[in-house]
Amino acid sequence: MEMLIGYSGIALFLVLIIVVLERTRHKDKTFSEYATAGRSFGPFFGTMAFTNTWMPGTVFISFAGLAAGAGIIGFYLVAYSLAAVALMAALAKPVHDWGRKFDLRTQADLLGMRYNSKAVRLVASGIGIVASIPWVVLGMQSLALVFSYLSFGHVAPFVAVLISIGVIAFRQIWTVKYGMRGVVISDMVQGIFAYLIGTVVAVGLIVWLLTNGHGFGQVAPAFYTLPGIGSELGPLYTLSIIVTGAAGSWCWPDIFVRLFTANSVRTIKRTAIQSAPLVLIFGTAVCMVALLASSMPAVAAAPDNVWFTAASVGGVTLVTLAAICVVGATLGNIGANLQALGTQTANDIVGVIQGHRMENPKIGKIAVTVITAVCAVGAYFTASTTSGLVVLALISYQGIVQLAPTLLFGIFWKRGNAVAAVASMLSGFGTAAVLQWIYPVSIPWLGGLTSGVAALVVNITVYVICSYTVHRSPAEAARIEQLWRVHKGTAKATAEHEVTASLPS
């Protein structure tokens, strides 16, 4: 009976999402509309869309598990999330203005335009796809934990993974069908459950824990300290994961495209203002539940299960509600990821190879379907991995953050060129991969720096050296000046035509 209640709750939630999508359906006529939702959404949708992508279901699982298993270091999620929101406001004007004026659809598309290079588009797109796929797999694993818990012991973990793959594949029918517009609309529904109701559930659990013998005094003293000198992780480890998270925040293709779906620069800035308190309150509440619940024997035995273990005090109804929160957050992140990766594959790999801009949304739908299948296979072959899932997230960040110098320098500094962009991305990603293989967690002889931060030093050095040593033609210098005038709103009426005419195919 308990399993029936739990699974029925998830089924009704899925039906609600599908009904909303069907009632608001809109057929996109071009690939650009399919990829950017027609650049038509306002602040509320922008806030829910950003949060539903930024705070995936694994926040309730692996990130909460980090706080439950290691203490206050788990709150680093809140620190780098607030930094990401601040960076959103800084990126708003140049990215939105360039995106609208030059019909940019993806992050790689923008970089290709900025550096006037097909090679930059291909490399940036490849890194984005390779680094993002583990996050999709992680999301499927998080969803599997939902079905495992809601079965109340009747479904094995491996079978739960298969169920989660099936649910996501079914849900993807509407993602493929309605593109980014469908993703944004469903984010609104999923976000209300995941973060608004999720925060209410978290606050209720905090009150119960504090009044039932699981207060701050019962938390292990070691949980209130961060890795320091002489620790296994190293004194720079916490700083490294915060820097990696903040610098890599807008390197994710699914996050970056949110800047293209907004209807104005003002909307993006209002989204940042609205997202900050939501991220702060929600993230802190979930991590606080995990920290307080760490004194529960069941949580100490399985930290990644902390959200469900704590919710079990309220019986099947509360567990089901807690599970719906995880499902809402997971579907938002996975849907946005698969849509962005599929679009990027079609626009910036297939399109570049074919030598023309994609105009038919059908190609994007096919690409999203293929990427979904690849991720489902990945989840199937990692189905036995049921704990310590935060490692997958941290590894992904080491790779994706290598786009940061090319992206941020490219937007805020005129000097960078295509050679600098390609050389820095490849050297940084290669260095991160080698160091990650040798030092999976942190690098002891660098004080606990992670592979991604150490590789960033190489990455930035290569970018700066190439920017100053590689000759830039007068025509390219003039193109960059025109591009900056467009961003600053001081270009003449012909500027848009001049810059567009020099864009790579």
Burial class (CB in 10 A: 0-12, 13-18, 19+), 343: buried
Question: Three-state SS string across 260-296, please?
Answer: HHECCHHHHHHHHHHHHHHHHHHHHHHHHHHHHHCCC
Residue ranges of alpha helices (H) inside 401-439 are 404, 410-412, 418-438
- What phi and psi, each to the nearest 5 degrees, are found at residue 395? -65, -45
What kind of architecture, by CATH, is found in domain 2-14+34-385? Orthogonal Bundle (1.10)
Largest CA distance in the chain: 74
**Any idea which residue has 């079914």 for tokens?**
170
Confirm if 435 and 455 have CB atoms less than 8 A apart: yes
Helices 157-191, 315-344: axis angle to 10 degrees equals 80
Cα–Cα dist 77/73, whole Å: 9
pLDDT per position in the chain (505 positions), as tens? 788 888 999 999 999 999 998 887 777 778 888 888 888 899 999 999 999 989 988 899 888 999 999 999 999 999 999 999 999 999 999 999 999 889 999 999 999 999 999 999 999 999 999 888 888 887 777 788 888 888 888 888 778 888 888 888 888 888 888 888 888 999 999 999 999 999 999 999 999 999 999 999 999 999 999 988 888 889 999 999 999 999 999 999 999 988 999 999 999 999 999 999 999 999 999 999 999 999 999 999 989 899 999 999 999 999 999 999 999 998 888 888 888 888 898 889 988 888 888 777 888 888 888 888 888 887 777 666 545 455 666 678 899 999 999 999 999 999 999 999 999 999 999 999 999 989 988 999 999 999 999 999 999 999 999 999 998 899 999 999 988 988 776 444 334 444 443 444 3
User: Among 344, 423, 402, which Cα is nearest to 109's?
Assistant: 344
